[in-house]
Chains A and B, each alone.
Chain A
Amino acid sequence: MFTRHFQGHGWRWSLVALSWLPVVVTFNENVCHIAKIEGSSMRPTLNPNECSSSSDWVLLWKFNIRNAYNLNRDDVILFKCPTDPTKTYCKRIKGIQYDSIKTRYPYPREIVNIPRSHLWVEGDNVFHSVDSNDFGPISAGLAIGKVIKVIWPPSRWGTDVKSTTGRQQLITNQAD
């Protein structure tokens, strides 16, 4: 008798939990999420230690992220790689829509004007980064989320992700 009663409860509770799953997924997809950062392109801001095997885990803000005015210069964002949609890249925004940017070697032109709702992204580790200098300005529609805080490992809680690093003075003609 007792076991049957218990089983009924277990069944019921798992159904309730299952019905909340879409809410959790929706929240993770559209509001807030946690992501692991891999690779060295954002050194020294993220994954600063070369030998350490542990990577940084960050808190991502996703709500309304695709609106151009929610993405500013010096924000660190995650976005779908334009040349391979299955990959996710993490870079710093160096220019927003209507900016004029001075480019670096692989890009064929010296100065590029960023079109509407597009972003110019570069890694902080300038020499180990595949970024907008290779694939051009990216559409804001490819953005997945904005990094707001490093949450793991705890020793790196105080990291300032907004600190301006990487190449400087890229903007030749600031649009305001």
Chain B
Amino acid sequence: MAPPTPILCKDQIQGEHQKLVRDSKFCSLKSLTQYQCNITAYSPEEYICVPFKRLFEECITANKTNKRSFDNGKSQKQ
């Protein structure tokens, strides 16, 4: 079990996000595609996957640490 980590809501990260954007030299939008897959009813060897794209905002701050704030996740039909 990880150290106690509070679950933050949108309002709580908003301030941190604004500070991050203000402090950083450069922010860029990144994405990472994962999937939602299900075995088909016909055969256990077959499955259907629907891509699930996750968006991240990556900011490079003065002390060279990258912080990313996850913006949104949207799913698209293949």
Contact = CB atoms under 8 A, between A and B. Distances in A.
Contact of A118 (B1, B3, B6): B1
Interface string B3-14: 110100000000
Contacts of A107: 4
Interface class of chain A by DSSP? loop
B3 A83 contact: yes
Majority DSSP secondary structure for residues of B touching A = loop
Nearest to B6: A108
Interface string A75-92: 000000011000000000
A138 B4 CA distance: 11
B4 A108 contact: yes
B2 interface: yes
A108 B3 CA distance: 10
Contacts of B4: 107-109, 136
Nearest to A136: B3
Contacts of A56: none
Nearest to B2: A136
A101 to B, nearest CB: 12
B35 to A, nearest CB: 28
Contact of B3 (A82, A109, A115): A82
Contacts of A139: 1
A115 B1 CA distance: 7
Nearest to B5: A136
**Residue of B1, B2, B3, B6 with most partner-chain A CB within 10 A:** B1
A82 B2 CA distance: 8
Contacts of A134: 3
A128 B2 CA distance: 22
B5 to A, nearest CB: 9
A169 to B, nearest CB: 22
A108 B4 CA distance: 7
Interface in B1-41: 1-4, 6
Interface of B: 1-4, 6
Interface of A: 82-83, 107-109, 115, 118, 134-139
18 contacts: A82-B2, A82-B3, A83-B3, A107-B4, A108-B4, A108-B6, A109-B4, A115-B1, A118-B1, A134-B3, A135-B3, A136-B1, A136-B2, A136-B3, A136-B4, A137-B1, A138-B1, A139-B1
Given A109-B4, A139-B1, 16 more contacts: A82-B2, A82-B3, A83-B3, A107-B4, A108-B4, A108-B6, A115-B1, A118-B1, A134-B3, A135-B3, A136-B1, A136-B2, A136-B3, A136-B4, A137-B1, A138-B1
